[in-house]
Structure 1
Amino acid sequence: MRRWRGGTALAALIMVVLAGCGAPAGTDGDLTDDWRPVGKVEQFTPKVGDCHLIGDPTSYLTSYQPVDCAQPHLVETFHIGRFTGALAARPSPPRVGSAVLRPAFAECDTQAREFLGGDWHAARLVVQVAPASPSGWAGGSRWFRCDVFEVSAVETDGDSRSDWPAQHAGTLRDALKDPASPLAYGCLEGTIGGLLQVPCTSAHWIEYAGTWTAPEVPFATLAGDEDRIHAACRTVIAGYVKLPVDRLLPYRTSTLYGLPSQAAWARGDRQVRCFVWSYDLMKRSVKGGGPRALPVH
């Protein structure tokens, strides 16, 4: 009897509650039909043309505070790429400096030449890749930033200082279209710890000639093979000056070279910069000058 009475009481209670949930006068009983539709959730994506006060290759949303490129800044974003295939399926973003970022670096390298109007290796410029942050990656972001920045010195020793950004004001778009760009290496003089850019019409001993693509070997192996690098750079110089590649070439000029920094090597940069180091004091560019520009000594 107690159980039966309890069921009756519960049924009565349900009826009372349901009766209290009836639609008020003037309503249709649908609580959601007048709500605005929820917008599609979009992942944060950086913008091409943004400039930044932070030079590190990181992409945390909390530190993403772009500034007008006309103001002093450290890096400029010139391209946004996207990881696809197996890379995009990774549970975490590729680590900065890891080998898996090399295809992204190659894309940035190609896009940089178009953006700058020339090869950035021929200037006081550095290109780097900044993948999405771990939290952004977990949320579905699969982009990477291509950034470019200026460095203050022309260095040839391959240490990490060449990866330190210097403050720059203004966009770097088309910065290398003019061969006389103040960023382009051109003609140089030796100083303590590096090279100093000088007008080619002033007295100098050194001139940038181009790059040699190093083989896929460990950085230490390349750095220890100086004879191979000098021989390769002599060939680069021969093409730049229009010299015959023969047994007399080493008697026409000495060579100087600049390795990528170890950080640049890790991200995929294999370009070794080659410089003419003349036996004679020069007061003009030797580009295309032929055998008379660098006579045999």
Structure 2
Amino acid sequence: MRRQVTAAVTAAFVMVVVAGCGTPAGTDGDLSDDWRPMAQAQQFAPEAGECHVIADPTAYLTSYAPVDCAKTHLVETFHVGTFTGALAARTTPPPVESATMRSTFADCDTRAKQFVGGDWRTARLSVQVAPTSPAGWKGGARWYRCDIFELDEVNGPNGESDAAIQRTDSLRGALASRSPLTLGCMNEDKWGMLRTAGCTAGHQFEFVGIWTAPDRSWADAARDEAAIHTACRAVIARYAKVPVDGKLPYRTGTAYRFPSRPLWERGDRGVRCYYWSSGTTVKRSIAGGGTAVLPIR
């Protein structure tokens, strides 16, 4: 009896299915042309104008959490570029601190000057390249971020450190006019750090500009102190508008701050040069002062 009931149910089912095989009104019976094409897969990429609370120069998706630049952050992305040519053909992203990244850093360097409205090295700022993560690279991503960030007043460019500090505003146009970030007159504290001082107050140091060092190893370049002082002396002369001649060493002392090793390896060759009064207290800027402010001593 059970077998007969099953057969009857099966027969009824077959009848329903067969009845449903007709073409419904308003259709052509071809389902293959009614599906919408699937959207093309999109590779993740950050955007310029984003700020980040993580300063790591390798952009992992797992740590991607951009914030409004008006909120507390460490670094600001001002440009997103694309690796091309031999760099894009690599099987892994270029190491951040390597010669292969120099051309990319140079691109970020140029764009950073445009972004802030001046040479970022003349202020308490630094720049880094943040390439996509190894996993992202394996998946086909070839982008890199250009990030800019503020340095600490004491342990920043004057203390040869390159660590980002928290800030709560965008750096766009920050150097288009005089800024609290801009390097100027200074005094040395008991730990050898240069601290900001008013130029009309008593001070012994003044930032005068950047000298671009030759492209060689950090150790070799940093060791050549005599050449650096000579180069910075010429920067002082241009700043103060005095002759670059044999009398110049008798007009001014010099000091400098070399790029940190990580920054040097990223591609920066900018040495920050300072006028040094040789211990005499000065109460004015030497900018454009000529031989009157830098007499022979």
| 8 Å Cα contact 2:241/2:288 also seen in 1 | yes
Following superposition, the deviation at residue 231 of structure 1 comes to 0.6
Of the three residues 176, 180, 183, the one matched with 2:181 is 183
Q: CA deviation at 1:73?
A: 0.5
Q: CA deviation at 1:277?
A: 0.5
User: Any conservation in 1 of the 2:124–2:157 contact (CA below 8 Å)?
Assistant: no
SS at 1:87 equivalent: helix
1:19-54 alpha-carbon deviations (Å, 9 max, x no partner):
979844405433343333211211111111100000
Give the C-alpha shift of residue 256 in structure 1. Answer: 0.4
Q: Secondary structure at the match of 1:209?
A: strand
For 1:148 and 1:80, the matched residues in 2 are separated by 12
Per-residue CA shift, 1:97-142, capped at 9, x if unaligned? Answer: 1111110100000000000001011111000000111111122211
Counterparts of 1:253-268 in structure 2, within 5 Å, are 253-268=252-267
Runs of 4+ in 1 over 2 A off after TM superposition: 19-25, 27-37, 153-158
Please report how far the alpha carbon of residue 253 of structure 1 lies from its aligned counterpart in structure 2 after TM superposition: 1.1
In structure 2, distance between residues paired with 1:205 and 1:271 = 22
Corresponding residue number in structure 2 for 1:168: 167
Q: Structure 2 CA distance, aligned partners of 1:68 and 1:157?
A: 30
Residue aligning to 1:209: 208
Name structure 2 gaps, 5 residues minimum.
1-13
1:135 aligns with 2:135: yes
Report the equivalent of 1:195: 194
Task: Give distance in 1, aligned partners of 2:23 and 2:40.
Answer: 35
> d(CA) in 1 for partners of 2:247 and 2:296?
7
Q: Which residue of 1 aligns with 2:57?
A: 57
C-alpha distance 227-139 of structure 1, shift in aligned 2 (>3 A): same
Which residue in the other structure is 1:99 paired with? 99
Matching residue's letter, 2:101? L
Cα 1:277/1:38, change in 2 over 3 Å: same
User: What's the TM-score, normalizing by structure 1?
Assistant: 0.88
TM-score, with normalisation over the residues of structure 2?
A: 0.88
2:225 is the alignment partner of 1:226: yes
- Aligned identity (percent) is 55
Query: Counterpart amino acid of 2:180?
Result: P
Distance 1:238 1:111 in 2: 29
Return 5+ residue gaps in structure 1 as ranges.
1-15
Q: How does 1:120-159 map to 2 (within 5 A)?
A: 120-152=120-152, 153=154, 154-156=156-158, 158=160
Aligned equivalent of 2:277: 278
Aligned residues: 276
